[in-house]
Amino acid sequence: MHAEPRGPTTLRPGIADLRSWDHLLLGRYRPVYHPVTTSCAWCALGPCELSRGRRGPCGQTLMLLAAREALMLAVNGACAHAAHARDVVEHLIKTFGEGLLLDLGPWVQIRAPIIQLVVGRRPGRLQDLLPVLDYVDTQLVRLAAAGHFGGESDALDLESKTLHAGTMDLLALEAADLAQTAAYQFPVAVADTPLVPLGLGEVDASKPVILCIGHHSAVGHRIAELLEARALSPQVELVGLCCTAHDMARGHGAAVKIVGNQRDQLSFIRAGVADVVVADQQCIRLDLREEALTTGACFIATSEEACAGLPDETAADPEALACDLAARALAGVFVADPDRAAELALALALRGKRARPRQVTADEDDAINCTRCFACDQSCPLQLPLTEAVWSLASEGRWDLLGGVTDRCLRCGSCDAACRLEVPVMALVQAADRRPAQRSLVRAGRGPISDFEIKSTGPAIVLGDIPGIVAFLACPDYPDGRGAVAWMARALAERGYIVLTAGCAAMDLAWCAEGSGAGEEDTPANPYQRYPAVFDQGGLLNLGSCVSASHAIGAAIKVASIFLHRRLAGNFAGIADYILNRIGMVGVLWGGVTPKALAASAGANRLGIPVLFGPQGERFRRTLEAAPDLAWWVLDARTGRQLGGTPAPASLCTTAASREEALVQIARLCLRPNDTTMGRQVKLEHYAGLSRELLGHPPDDLARWIRSAYDVPEGWSEAERARLLGGGWAPVPIPDPTLLAELVRAG
């Protein structure tokens, strides 16, 4: 099997222009489908049962159904980010003018690596981002059409289109963050960004509290500006949830307190602390309006995408509207203009703390109605043993079983909705947590990695001396509690990996976990205080909100561009080939189960970056695994010879069942064909060491990754060396690896 030329690469590629590269990837990493249903109900001819090799009347098979659903989920996620990016850019053009310079300072010359790679543009002003977003919108419409009845009929071509949706997602992410970073003058490549208060325990509930939640921080920024301009900060507490909070903190530092992330929405609202709730767009609970109003808080919807069934009062005078809301003449309002929404929120807060019902709490008496029906267990997304815990409280007065599930509980409220006798299960779980209200510090997002940092660390990354770059991203619905990501991040930073993070995961890195410290009493437990915020060995960097995750992908692209001087414009396959074979980077979406997470992961996969999900990742319908029957090969760019090799990386999109398995998988996924012998020794030391420490045994495929006797780490015993190099092991050449025939330099 030989690599075929990828053909001419176009700028602004259509949905089939990178198809040859996609098929090359998908030939090595075959889709493994995990259907969530065997019945298709996508049209009025259904539902059609597709198990046992059956076909629907349209020709649909079960494999095609899973591939089509993955495509449409990725398109949905990319559409969410594309809509957000357009809202951000158009608002900023209205506020600052279309000629605003996209200036990221002297240390970031490659300011938009993803846009340059895919679209061939180097945006200089805000207006330059509009054609990029037009292109994204056009491609997403065509991808949605491919998933319609009578559309694409081949599973691999559906997968190719899913990867294209991921590329559009990355473009939207980068455009959004580039625009807001330049306009709001966020920190750029700054290591020592301020540490921002995090957690309910940091909130001064004696003051009126304005809560901003969502992803588009325009209203939150305006509220912060008004508080500062009018010297009102001592009188009003401004807090944020989710990515809006990240971006508010990037612009205003410790003047904004971050309550938490997506997982904390319901518990914070039910705590009764917020007086005004300002919701914008995406990742907002669909019952947030009702929950806020139950506690007496005023609710303001600010996005056309999430009007929440409220009357449009955009044209109303904010002061008069505040009077109506305060008098309960209105249950809540929709205000589309960010300036008016900010004025309204501030006017409501300045009226002082509202008289409202008590916070949603529970005690032992609330459990007595439990009949042990197991409805709460069945409704729980993580299948926590809630029934036995509540029953033990009701029958024996024991809180310990409820206390045992507090860290793993998602605070989603599904158990409350399922209980026919209205036992407040979630409130009981929270009441079982006897610890003080949580408080911590999270480092404000620092934006892109500077070109200087890339130049400094690029050689060590490519050669394998730095064992890898690991990016913790996505949502907080973890299978094993919010401390898992902090535990993994600390373990990797201690071993010299570069750890990047953004979005909800960045907040959860501040909640420390057991068993990952170094033992020094004077060493901070908080990872943000423990590890340097530099793009180098052992560094931990918070990039910012979800859209800032694009900088993790951008860093890999910049390594290829800066270190090897590879052009970006029109060279997607060349850059992706470089990343796949040379840059040991892994994305970890430990809690990602949203379409946006799938879209972002597909974008990373197309660029040769493996993504690791938690066990819930199979609900995205498919993973991309290295098939054991494949003849693995690379081309040696020096000679053009096709050489047998090892599947490095071992998977492109996969899952892990536990955090211990995840750490071992991460070390394995950082292996690359281009590793030097010294780099391979470093990576194998971590791979084997983590497996022994966490799983109790060495990896069973360790010999597979040893290309020559020099790859065996020097500290290993002679017996271990003999065991690995015995049997059927034989050395293989170490090539200058590529999958693309046109990159072969041999004459």
Distance between alpha carbon 588 and the CA centroid of its chain, in Å? 8
- What is the Cα–Cα distance from 673 to 248, expressed in whole angstroms? 42
**What are the DSSP calls for 495-546, one per residue?**
TT-EEEE-THHHHHTTS--TT---S-TTS-SSHHHHS--SSSTT-EEE--SG
Beta carbons within 8 Å of 51's beta carbon, 6+ residues apart: 38, 62
Distance CA 515, CA 487 (A): 8
What pLDDT does residue 241 have?
93
The domain 195-349: what is its CATH number?
3.40.50.2030
Residue 179 has pLDDT above 90, yes or no: yes
The structural domains of the chain, with segments of one domain joined by +, span 195-349, 364-432
The mean pLDDT of 30-46, rounded to a whole number, is 90
Kindly give, in sequence order, each residue whose CB lies less than 8 Å from that of residue 453, ignoring residues fewer than 6 positions away: 189, 534, 535, 536
- Choose the most confident range, by mean pLDDT, from 85-89, 434-438, 742-746: 85-89
Q: What angle do CA 576, 488, 215 make, to 5 degrees?
A: 65
- Over range 373-381, report the average pLDDT: 92
* Dihedral class, residue 690 (left if φ above 0, else alpha if ψ from -120 to 50, else beta): alpha
What string of DSSP letters covers 251-308? HHGGGSEEEE-GGGHHHHHHTT--SEEEE-SSS--TTHHHHHHHTT-EEEE-BTTB-T
pLDDT of residue 352: 79
What mean pLDDT do residues 202-226 have? 94
The DSSP element (H or E) to which 643 belongs, if any, is: strand 642-644
Q: What pLDDT is attached to residue 746?
A: 60
Asked if residue 157 has pLDDT above 80, the reply is: yes
In this predicted structure, what is the pLDDT of residue 517?
Answer: 40
- 309 CB-near residues (< 8 Å, 6+ apart): 289
Check residue 565 and give its pLDDT.
Answer: 78
| pLDDT interval class at 359 (50, 70, 90) | low
Per-residue model confidence as pLDDT tens digits over 289-335:
999 988 889 999 999 999 999 999 999 999 999 999 988 888 899 99
Question: What whole-number distance in Å separates Cα of residue 159 and Cα of residue 31?
Answer: 8
Q: What is the pLDDT of residue 186?
A: 95
High-pLDDT (> 70) share of the chain, %: 96
The reported pLDDT for the residue numbered 664 is: 97
pLDDT band at 363 (very low <50, low <70, confident <90, very high): confident
Q: What angle do CA 8, 133, 15 make, to 5 degrees?
A: 35
What was the pLDDT predicted at 13? 92
Cis? peptide before 595, omega within 30° of 0: no
Contact predicate 683/707, CB 8 Å: no
What distance in Å separates the CA atoms of residue 290 and residue 297, rounded to the nearest whole number? 10
- What is the model's pLDDT at position 116? 95
In this prediction, residue 8 carries a pLDDT of 38
**How many CB atoms lie under 10 A from the CB of residue 267?**
21
Whether residue 47 is preceded by a cis peptide bond, meaning omega within 30 degrees of 0, is yes
Q: Is the per-residue pLDDT at 3 higher than 70?
A: no
Where does the pLDDT of residue 358 fall: very low under 50, low under 70, confident under 90, or very high at 90 and above? low
The string of pLDDT tens digits covering residues 450-492 is 999 999 999 899 888 899 999 999 788 888 888 899 999 999 9
Which of these, 565, 662, 549, 660, lies nearest to 613 by C-alpha position?
662
Residue 268 pLDDT exceeds 70: yes
What is the residue type of 641? R
Handedness of CA 694, 700, 705, 710 (dihedral sign): positive
CA pair distance 415, 424, nearest whole angstrom: 8
Termini Cα distance of the chain: 21
List 616's β-bridge partners, or say none. none
Q: What does the block give as tokens for 243?
A: 């990515």
Contact 503, 517 (CB under 8 A): no
Using the predicted structure, report yes or no on whether residue 5 has a pLDDT greater than 50: no
pLDDT tens digits, 501-541: 999 999 999 987 544 343 445 567 889 999 999 999 999 99
Binned at pLDDT 50, 70 and 90, residue 564 comes out as confident
Which range among 73-87, 354-368, 458-472 shows the weakest confidence by mean pLDDT? 354-368
Mean pLDDT of 653-664: 95
